[in-house]
Amino acid sequence: MLAIRGIAMSIDRRGFIAASALLSSRVLAEETAAQKPMTQSHGSSPRRPLRRIATEEAFATPEQMAGMIGLSRSGWENLDMGLWRAWGRLQPGQANRLHDQLLDLEEVRIKEMDDNGVHMQVLSLTSPGVQQFDAPTAVSIAQDANDKLAAVIARHPNRFCGLAAFAPQDPKRTPQEMDRAINQLKLNGFILNSHTNGEYLDDRKFWPMLEAAEALERPIYIHPRCPSDDMAKPFRDYGMAAGICGFHTETALHATRMILGGVFDQFPKLQIVLGHMGEGLPYWLYRIDHVWRSTGSPDRLKTGPMDTFHRNFVVTTSGVNDPKVLKFVIDQLGADNVMWAIDYPYEVTKPAVDFMNTAPISEEERHKLFYLNAERVFHIPAV
């Protein structure tokens, strides 16, 4: 119960108890019973009620959904198409939980948050974002998604913030949209779903976008997508294309290419967020750094892989509710560089909340992972 003390204070202060019949009586009863004075100090931070900000939470727009379903009917045998192809076969009125929950922002989603004591979701356009479309379509669907995201955040400023989609297919025009997303729409960062047509951000043609993110002082969340057409074949068996193997293989490859390609020598303040406890990279860092130093070309980088990862990367817990991995990742990266995430609606909210409520870490670390780090990384105002 330690982990949820203080929440009732937070909810009360924000007027939700009086205002919202959506809040579940179960959570409220639990939290009222658990309300106690906070006894833990949080380093130099003021003593604050615990707040749960989930940082990798997916949505879709009708335009993205229609565009992807259209592509999935084109005969393109691309690994990312599997899910969308199934949704394209839905008959009118036929329910599909994931399809419906991705398109929903204000009904089931907010109730699910209330029922589980989740204060805020950091929303991002679901994988693979706009990256399978031709450039004009990608630009248009990203702009529309960013407008819709800003509108829902304006209606629920205490419940949602969001990461802007952008079109790497048009790297010269995209910095304008990135600027608009932060300075006009007041979004909190950027979402990229790994490769774009088999190309990665170490390619210099994409660097105007990295320059923009660094100058805007907002992170790029590199979310997984399935391996590209060029490397798809061995992932077609045993359901390996997505969360079992393809996602983290692909995304770890992407981040490693960026590190070794000198991206962070050029953009030393660029912040990258990786989900799924860092897509395996925290585990491999020693070996990557060691082999790079002994057999690679160390003189080609100012900062080596280990130091770069510690300086430029933050990871989230999405989809890995494993306390042993959490302990390791905090040991490797420090508690300031790990954020909590659910991976809604692909993962279920309650086990992710229970995991972080009860993880064997200090209360100071729990506050960092649940909200303090997210407030810092995504510029979310404290409440």
Q: Select 5 or 254, whichever has its Cβ closest to Mn ion.
A: 254
Burial of 104 per CB tally in 10 Å (0-12, 13-18, 19+): middle
**Residues 80, 170, 289, 343: which is the catalytic one?**
343
Q: How far apart are CA 59 and CA 65, in angstroms?
A: 10
CA-wise closest residue to 67 among 129, 124, 123: 129
Torsion angle (degrees, nearest 10) of CA 304, 308, 310, 311: 140
Closest distance to Mn ion from the beta carbon of 275 (Å) = 6
Q: Select 80 or 343, whichever has its Cβ closest to Mn ion.
A: 343
Closest distance to Mn ion from the beta carbon of 269 (Å) = 25
Q: Select 31 or 279, whichever has its Cβ closest to Mn ion.
A: 279
Contact 270, 264 (CB under 8 A): yes
| C-alpha triplet 287, 196, 329: angle, nearest 5° | 30
Per DSSP, the chain holds a count of helices (H) and strands (E) of: 18, 8
Q: Which amino acid is at 17?
A: I
Closest distance to Mn ion from the beta carbon of 127 (Å) = 6
Q: Select 175 or 219, whichever has its Cβ closest to Mn ion.
A: 219
Backbone angles phi, psi at 179, to 5 degrees: -65, -45
Q: Select 250 or 343, whichever has its Cβ closest to Mn ion.
A: 343
Closest distance to Mn ion from the beta carbon of 341 (Å) = 8
Indicate if 343 belongs to the active site: yes
Q: Which residue is nearest to Mn ion (CB)?
A: 343
Q: Give Cα separations from 302 to 178, 266, 310 (angstroms).
A: 28, 10, 14
Q: How far apart are CA 201 and CA 88, in angstroms?
A: 31
57 sits near Mn ion (criterion: CB under 5 A): no
Q: Select 54 or 212, whichever has its Cβ closest to Mn ion.
A: 54
* Binding to Mn ion in span 12-41, by CB under 5 A: none
Burial of 338 per CB tally in 10 Å (0-12, 13-18, 19+): buried
Q: Give Cα separations from 344 to 96, 200, 249, 335 (angstroms).
A: 15, 26, 21, 23
Query: DSSP assignment, residue 199?
Result: B
Coil, helix or strand at residue 162: strand
Q: How far apart are CA 84 and CA 67, in angstroms?
A: 10
Coil, helix or strand at residue 20: coil
| C-alpha triplet 378, 247, 310: angle, nearest 5° | 45
Report residue 61 as tokens: 């727009």
Contact 239, 202 (CB under 8 A): no
Number of residues that bind Mn ion (CB under 5 A): 2
Closest distance to Mn ion from the beta carbon of 104 (Å) = 16
* Binding to Mn ion in span 148-177, by CB under 5 A: none
Site string for Mn ion, 329-358 (x = CB under 5 A): --------------x---------------
Q: Select 159 or 248, whichever has its Cβ closest to Mn ion.
A: 248
Catalytic residues: 343
Residues that bind Mn ion (CB under 5 A): 56, 343
